[in-house]
Amino acid sequence: MSGLYRISGKGRLTPAKTVAFTFDGKSYEGLEGDTLASALLANGVVLTARSFKYHRPRGTMTEGSEEPNSLIGVRRDTARQQPNVRATMQEIYDGFNAVSQNRWPSLAFDIGAVNSILSPLFVAGFYYKTFMWPRVAWEKIYEPNIRAAAGLGLSPTEQDPDHYANKFAYADVVIIGGGPAGISAALTAAKQGVSVIICDENAEFGGALLYETDVQIDGKSGYDWTQDALAQLGAMDNVTILPRTTAFGYYAQNMIGLCERITDHIAVPEADSPRERLWQIRAKKVIIAQGAIERHLVFANNDRPGIMMASAARSYLNKYGVAVGSKIGVYTACDSAYAAAFDLKEAGVDIPIIVDSRSDVDPALLERARELGLNVQTGHSVIDTTGKLRISGIKVAKNGQTANTKYDVDALLISGGWTPSLHLYSQSRAKPSWDGDVKRFLPENPVQDQVSVGACNGTNDLTELLSEAQDAALNAAKSIGVKKLKKVSAPKEVVTSYGHEGDHIGSSHGAGADDQVKAFVDFQHDVVANDIRLAVREGMRSIEHVKRFTTTGMATDQGKTSNLHGLAIAADGLGKEIPQVGLTTFRSPFTPVSFGTIVNHGAGDLFDPVRRTPMHNWAVEQGAVFEDVGQWKRGWYFPQAGEDMHASVNRECKTVRESAGVFDASTLGKIEVVGPDAAKFLDIIYTNAWSTLKVGRCRYGIMTHEDGFIFDDGVVGRLAEDRFHVTTTTGGAANVLNHMEDYLQTEFPELDVWLTSISEQWGVIGVQGPKARDIIAPLVEDIDLSTENMPHMSVREGRICGVPTRLFRMSFTGEMGYEINVPADYAESVLEAVWAEAQKHNACAYGTEAMHVLRAEKGYIIVGQETDGSITPHDAGLSWAVSKKKTDFVGIRGLMRDDLVAEGRKQLVGLKTKDPKVVLEEGAQIVADPNQPIPMKMLGHVTSSYWSENCGHSIALAIVEGGRSKMGETLYVPMIDRTIEVEVVDTVFVDKDGGRLNG
Amino acid sequence: MANTNQALRKSPLEGRLGGGAGVTITPADPMSRMSLRVKDKDVKTVGKALGLALPTKPKTSVVSSGKDAQVSALWIGPDEWLVLSGVDADLSGALGKIKPVHSAVDISQRNTAVLLEGPKALDLLQAGCPQNLNDDVFPIGACSRTIFGKAEVVIWRTDAQSYHIECWRSFSDYVFKFMVQAAKGL
C-alpha cells in the first residue's frame, strides 16, 4: 500500500510500481512518479519542516517550485547530500532518503520553537536594533551566535563526486514553460521549420492540464491533448524538449540560462552521466510561458501544516491520486478553488465547508456546490486556525465580525487568486505594468526580443490562451525571417468548466493592523503582516526598503507566493496605490542552481589549464620540485638525495659557476617580428635602438608603457634584416604581444610588419657556465661556436642533433651561456643529448630558484620583482638601455615628466647585511634611523634577497630613495623581533667587469 | 665527428585516445603549419605560390586541389591565414622567392591538433565553445579562431561530422581532457 491517503482510481501513477523511501529515518512506500511531497502526503505525513526563524511546524503548501516550506535534505550517499531541496520538485526512487531540516532533536519536538514564544522580541529589524550595542559584543558574542543559528540545511562535507556538463546552444525560438501555452507555441513555431527549444522545470510537460481534469480540447482530455502534442514535437528534428529543466536566468542579448537535472530522479544513474547540465542559449526569440502562481491568503495562523494552495491539492489528487486530508476545508477568494473542492468531494473526501471571502460568487459554482451537497459561506473569512503539528480546525466569521463558528478539518485549501509569473520577464530588465482591475502586474513592455503568453501574460481563458500562443509563435517565425508561414489551425472546441476569476491581495479579515496575530506573508522567512506594517511605521517608504528591513521576499523562493501580499500591505500602510510603491526586481536564479552546474566542466583538473613545457618529463626524471608560474609548471629546484631546498639551490648555483648548468627556459614568451619595418617598429616599442643591431646579434631591451615605467624586458635577436626573434618574460608573454599589436594596429598601421607568437614553437634549453660551449659543441653541426665567430649576445641558425636550431649566446647568470631553441617536438630528445654531454662535465640541472639567485648575484632585474609599475629604466640603473638619439618610443614623454626626472627617486641598489649570515626578508622596509618614532620614514624596500653560496654571504637588491648616492652608507631594516643593519652596495656581487660572459 | 644524436620527435598528445558514444577524439598526426600574413593587394600572388586561392571571407577555408601535397588555408583574420599541410611540406620554401612583402612564420610545432568525429562531435564542441557552430552559420569548410573552455583554439569543420581543432601545444592536455570529460553523457 503506497499510503492511506492514496485514492484508488485517481491520479496517473501505477499502483503496482511501488518504491521504498525514507524520511527522517522512517520507511515509507511511494509510487514511481511521486515527488517526495506527494508520497509523504499519501502516507499522511503533513509535517515536513520547521520554519526558519520561529521554528514553527510547517507542511507542504504547493505542488511546484514556488514551495516555501518543504525544504528538505536529500542524502544519496555520504558525499551526495543536498540541502534545501523542495520536496515538491524532488522525485523519489527506490531507496530514496531524505531528512527534514532546521529542527532539533526532531521535527515533532523542536527546541528552537522557543523562538516562537519569544517572537514578540523577534520582530522585523530585530537584529539591526538589538545587536548594535555594545559595539564590542558584536564580534565576540552576537555574530558567532547568530552565525551558528543562521543558515538552513547542512552543506555536504565531502567533495562532490558528480560531474556537471555545459552546453552552449543557439536556437531560433526558446520557449520557457511547457504548459498549454508553451506547447501550443512550440507546435506552431516548429511547424514553420525554425529551431525550437522548449523547457519545463517539471518532470512532465502539461502545466495545469496535468490536473485540470475539467478541460476538453477537441474532444480529448487536456492531458491527452498534451501527450499528443508532445509526441508530435518529439518527432520533429528541429525541436529540443527539455523536461526537468529550469530556465533560471534571462540575460542580455536574449541569453537564457537553463539548468537540466539529469540524474537526481534516478535510483542508479549511469556511471558516466553528468548530474546536471547548464545550458547557455542565445535565442532569436524568447517566448515566456511561465504560467501563474497561486497565492495564499493572509490570515491568523495561516501556516499550520495541512494548509495548502487549492490548486496544489487538486494536483495531488488528479496527478498522484492523493487526498491531502480526510476532512478538508476550503478558504478562497478565487473561483479555481471550487474545482479542487468539487474534485475531492467527487473522489469521496469530506469537504465540511467552503469559505469564500467574496459576497458575490458565480452562481454556477454555487449551484454545482449545492448539487454536491457542499456548505458554502460567502462573505465570510477564516479568522484563525487551531492545531499543533497539523491543522485541526478553523474559525469562520462573517466579514467584519468576530463572532465565529468552528469547523474541524485536517486540511485547509486556500486561494487568493493567481499571480502571473513575471520572473524571467523582470530579469530581462523589463518593467511590469499594473492591472488594477485584477490586481496584478503584467508583462506589457518587453525590452528584449521576447513575448509573454498565457497565464504569465494574464490570459487565463484556455481558448484565448491557445490562440495567443499560436499568434506569438507565428509572429516569432515571421520576425526570424520565415517567408511563407504554414497555416496552423486552432483547436475547434475548448471546454473548461472552471475559471480563475477572483483575487485578494494583502491581509484578510482578522489580520488587520489592529489584530495582534501571526498572519504569514512570507513563509520561508517567517514574515508576518504586522512586520511589514512595522517597517512602514519605522519609516520605510519604498518596497525595496521594506523588503530589506523585513526580509520579505528575500528567501530562496524570492517571494513567489508572497510578494503581492507584502506589497499590498505596505501600500495600505503608506496610504499609497500599489504601482506607486513599486514591485521589486526579480533576480536570477529563478530557483537555486547548484554550484556544480555553474562551474560545470571547470572543476578539478579542468579548473584551469596546466601548461607543461615539452621538456617537462625530463625535469620530472631529474627529480625536480615544480613551482607554478602563471599556468606553467616550472622546475623550481632539483634536489639530490638528502638535500633540502637550500642545499639544492646552493649546489645548483655553485655548479653553474664552476662547471655549467642546464635549464628549461621554454616558458619565455617569444614573438617573431617580420617585415621590412620590423626594426622601425621595435624602435618604437622598446626604449633602446634596434635599427643599429646587426643581423646575427642580440640585445637586451626594455619596454615601458606611455608612463615611462618598466613593463617588460627580454633579449631580442636579429635573424635577418626583416626578421627578429623577440623574447619576453614568462608572465608577460601574452601582454607584450597584445601591447605590440595594440600599437601596431592603432598607432602605426602604416608599418609593414607582422607579429606572430612563437612561444610554443620552440623548446628552449639553457646551458650556462664555463663549460657550456664544451657541452653543446659535440651536438651542434654547422655553427662555429668560437667567441670570435659567435661572441656574447649573438644568434645563429643551424642544426643541433639533426634538427634546426636558433642558437642564442646570451646569459642570465653572468656566465658564458647558450639558449638552444629547437622545434618543440624535438626539445626533449635534444635535451637528453645535451644532458648526456653535461654530465660528462659534472654540470647540473638547475631550476628557477637557482636562476633567480644567479641573476641577483649579477644585479639583473626581474620585471615584477625589482619593478612594481613605478620604476623607470633610470631608477633600475638601466639608463644605458634608453636611447638618447631616438625621437620617439613608447614612454619617451612619460620619462620626461617632472616627477620622473626629479632627484631622490627610489633607485635600485645592492644591500649587504652587516652580519653576512642574515638573509633579509623580501618586502622588508628600509629606514635611515631605526630609533625614530613610529610611523618611521620608509626609504624603500627589499626586492630580492638570497643566500649566495658563491659569495659566501647573503645578497639583496632593494629600491631606496636616492639609493645610488648612498653607496657605502648604513641603513636599517626593522623587523618584528630585531633591526638588521645593512650596507648600501653596488648591484653586482659577482664578476663586476663581466669577464666571465666572454669566456 | 658525425652526429649520432639524431633527435627524435614527440608530439604532445602522443598515444592518447578518447571518446564516447557518438564521438571519437583523436590526436592529429604531426603536420606543417604556417602563420601567414599578407596585405590585401598581394593575396592572389601569395596564394598562387601556395597553389591555392587564399580565402578572403571570414570563417572560410580553401583546400588546394593540385597533384602536389595538399595545402589548406584557413581564414583567421583580415590579413591572417593558418596554412596547413603534410608534415614534410616546405611551406616557407614555397614563399621564398615571391616579391610581395609578407610574414611567413613556421608554427608547425607551436600548435597541435585534435580530430573529432561522429554524430556527437558538434555536441562535444558546444560543451566548451560558446560560438554558434550550427549548420547554417558553420557549414563544412568553416573555420574560426575561438575558445574552448579556457583555451584558444581554431575550429575547422572538415566534414559533416568531422572537426579539426588546433590549439597551442601546452594547452592540448587541457583541451584533450576537457573533450574526454565532455564526451561523457552527451
Mean pLDDT of the A532-536 span: 95
Per residue in A252-287, pLDDT (tens digit) is: 999 999 999 999 999 999 989 999 999 999 999 999
Whether B53 and B79 map to the same domain: the answer is: yes
Tens digits of per-residue pLDDT, A351-392?
A: 999 999 999 999 999 999 999 999 999 999 999 999 999 999
**Whether pLDDT at A706 is above 70:** yes
CB contact under 8 A, B127 and A761: no
- What local confidence, expressed as pLDDT, does residue A316 receive? 98
In this structure, the answer to whether residues B74 and B95 fall within a common structural domain is yes
Residue A109 has pLDDT above 90, yes or no: no
Instruction: Say if the Cβ atoms of A756 and B101 lie within 8 Å.
Output: no
Answer yes or no: is B1 within a domain: no
- Which of B106, B131, B161 corresponds to the end of one domain? B106
Query: A724 CA to chain B: closest CA distance, Å?
Result: 11
Partner A, chain B 17-36, Cβ-Cβ below 8 Å: 20, 30, 35
Q: Cβ B37–A754 below 8 Å, yes or no?
A: yes
Could you tell me if B114 and B68 lie in one domain? no
Axis-axis angle for helices A310-320, A336-346 (nearest 10): 40
**Shortest alpha-carbon distance between residue B114 and chain A (Å):** 16
Q: Which of residues 75-104 of B touch A (CB under 8 A)?
A: 79, 101-104
Residue B8 lies in a domain: no
CB contact under 8 A, B109 and A610: no
The answer to the question of residue B138 being in a domain is yes
Q: Do B169 and A270 touch (CB under 8 A)?
A: no
How many other CB atoms are found less than 10 A from the CB of residue A978?
10
DSSP symbols for A699-727? EEEEEE-TTS-EEEEEEEEEEETTEEEEE
Q: CA-nearest residue of chain B to A166?
A: B127
- Which residues on B lie below 8 Å from A631 (Cβ)? 170
User: If you compute the radius of gyration of chain A from its CA atoms, what whole number of angstroms results?
Assistant: 38
**Which percentage of chain A shows pLDDT scores above 70?**
98
Residue A113 has pLDDT above 90, yes or no: no
Instruction: Go through B88-119 and write b for each residue having 16 or more CB atoms within 10 A of its CB, e for each that does not.
Output: ebebeebbeebeebbbbbbbbbbbbbbbbbbe
Tell me how close the Cα of B124 comes to any Cα of chain A, in angstroms: 8
Residue A674 and residue B103: Cβ atoms within 8 Å? yes
Domain final position from B74, B106, B138:
B106
Residues 105-144 of B with CB under 8 A from A: 105-111, 123, 126-132, 134
* Residue B70 touches partner A, C-beta closer than 8 Å: no
Of the residues B106, B140, B164, the one at which a domain ends = B106
Q: Are residues B136 and B155 in the same domain?
A: yes
The residue that leads in pLDDT, A120 or A180, is A180
Same structural domain for residues B69 and B50?
yes
Among the partner residues B104, B173, B181, nearest to A601 by beta-carbon distance = B181
Q: Which residues share a beta bridge with B163?
A: B116, B157
pLDDT at A282: 98
The answer to whether A756 contacts B37, with C-beta atoms less than 8 Å apart, is: yes
* Total domain count, chain B: 2
pLDDT interval class at A133 (50, 70, 90): low
B contacts of A757 (beta carbons < 8 Å)? 110
| CATH match for A506-576 among 3.30.70, 1.10.10, 3.30.420, 1.10.287 | 1.10.10
Q: What is the pLDDT of residue A140?
A: 77
Phi, psi of A30 (to 5 degrees): -130, -170
CATH architecture classification, A668-758: 2-Layer Sandwich (3.30)
Asked, for residue B152, whether it belongs to a domain, the answer is yes
Q: Which fold has domain A18-132?
A: Ubiquitin-like (UB roll) (3.10.20)
Strands (E), A252-375: 255-261, 276-288, 292-294, 307-309, 328-332, 354-356
Tell me the chain A residues in contact with residue B126 when contact means C-beta distances shorter than 8 Å. 167-169
Most B CBs within 10 Å, among A167, A172, A754, to test the B interface = A754
Give A922 to chain B, closest Cα distance, Å.
Answer: 32
Same domain, B174 and B121: yes
Per-residue confidence (pLDDT) for residue A977, from 0 to 100: 94
- B 33-62 residues inside an 8 A Cβ radius of A: 35, 37, 39
Summarize the confidence of residues A699-719 as an average pLDDT: 97
Residue B133 lies in a domain: yes
How confident is the model over A313-325, as pLDDT tens digits?
999 999 999 999 9
pLDDT band at residue A119 under the 50/70/90 scheme: confident
The domain that holds B41 is classified in CATH as: 3.30.70.1520
Residues B91, B54 share a domain: yes
Give residue for cell 618611521: A936
Range of the domain at B138: 18-30+110-182
Run of H or E residues at A569: helix A563-574
Mutate to test the interface with B, among A741, A760, A829 (most CBs of B within 10 A): A760
How far off is chain B from A229, nearest CA to CA, in Å?
26
Q: Give the count of Cβ contacts less than 8 A between chain A and B.
A: 146
Q: Cβ–Cβ of A163/B6 closer than 8 Å? A: no
Q: Mean pLDDT per 10-residue run, chain B (186 residues)?
A: 76 94 96 97 96 97 82 97 95 91 97 98 98 97 98 98 98 98 92
pLDDT average, residue stretch A746-763: 97
Superfamily assignment of A860-998 in CATH?
Probable tRNA modification gtpase trme; domain 1 (3.30.1360.120)
Residue B173: what pLDDT?
Answer: 98
In a domain, B53, yes or no: yes
Chain-chain contact of B3 with A165 (C-beta, under 8 angstroms): no
Chain B residue nearest residue A280, CA to CA: B130
Residue B154 maps to which CATH number? 3.30.1360.120
What is the model's pLDDT at position B1? 44
**In this structure, what C-alpha cell is assigned to residue A645?**
631546498
Is the domain spanning A165-292+421-495 CATH 3.40.250.10? The answer is no
CA distance A272 to chain B (A): 6
Same domain, B25 and B115: yes
The residues, any chain, with a CB within 8 Å of residue A363's CB and separated by 6 or more, are none
Kindly tell me if the per-residue pLDDT of A644 is higher than 70: yes
Contacting residues of A for B168, CB less than 8 Å apart: 759-760
Nearest to B105 among A602, A608, A756 (CB): A756
Residue to mutate among A761, A762, A803, A831, with most B CBs inside 10 A, is A761
Distance, in angstroms, between B118 CA and closest chain A CA? 17
ipTM: 0.97
**Which three cell numbers mark B124?**
562535444
Closest CA–CA distance from residue B130 to any residue of chain A (Å):
5
Q: Which fold has domain A608-667+762-859?
A: Gyrase A; domain 2 (3.30.1360)
Q: What is the mean pLDDT of residues A772-795?
A: 97
Name the least confident of A331-340, A580-589, A596-605, A754-763: A580-589
Q: Quick one: pLDDT band at residue A132, thresholds 50, 70, 90?
A: low
* Residue B142 distance to chain A (closest CA, Å): 17
How much is the pLDDT for A439? 92
Distance in Å, alpha carbon of B68 to nearest chain A alpha carbon:
25
Q: Answer yes or no: is B141 within a domain.
A: yes
* SS3 assignment, position B152: strand
Residue B76 belongs to a domain: yes
**Separation between Cα atoms, residue A520 and residue A527, nearest integer Å:** 6
Residues B89 and B147 in one domain: no
A167 neighbourhood in chain B, CB within 8 Å: 123, 126-127
Residue B111 CB-half CA count within 13 A: 29
Residue B69 and residue B88 in one domain: yes
The Cα–Cα gap between A535 and B156 comes to 61
- Mean pLDDT across chain A: 95
Per residue in A542-589, pLDDT tens?
888 999 999 999 998 989 999 999 999 999 999 999 999 888 889 999
Contacts of A608 in chain B (CB under 8 A): 150
Chain A CA closest to residue B39: A752
Q: B3, A280: Cβ pair inside 8 Å?
A: no
Instruction: Quote the pLDDT of residue A86.
Output: 97
State the pLDDT at residue A918: 97
Residue A146 DSSP symbol: H
Return d(Cα A23, Cα A691) in angstroms, integer: 80
User: Which chain A residue has the Cα nearest residue B38?
Assistant: A754
Residue A970 and residue A940 in contact, taking contact as beta carbons nearer than 8 Å: no
What residues contact A971, with CB distance under 8 A and at least 6 apart? A911, A926, A927, A928, A939, A960, A981, A982, A983, A984
Task: List the domain boundaries for chain A.
Answer: 18-132, 165-292+421-495, 506-576, 608-667+762-859, 668-758, 860-998
Report the residue of A166, A237, A238, A606 to disrupt the B interface, i.e. the one with the largest count of B CBs within 10 Å: A606
The string of DSSP codes covering A586-636 is P-S-SS---HHHHHTT-SGGGSS--B--TTHHHHHHTTPEEEEETTEEEEE
Partners of residue B121 in chain A, C-beta under 8 Å: none
Mean pLDDT of A468-488: 96
- Contact (Cβ atoms closer than 8 angstroms) between residue A936 and residue A902: no
Do B7 and A802 lie within an 8 Å CB cutoff? Answer: yes
Residue A127's pLDDT is: 64
Q: Answer yes or no: is pLDDT of A494 > 90.
A: yes
Same CATH fold assignment for domains A506-576 and A860-998:
no
Same-domain check for residues B49 and B88? yes
The pLDDT of residue B2 is 45
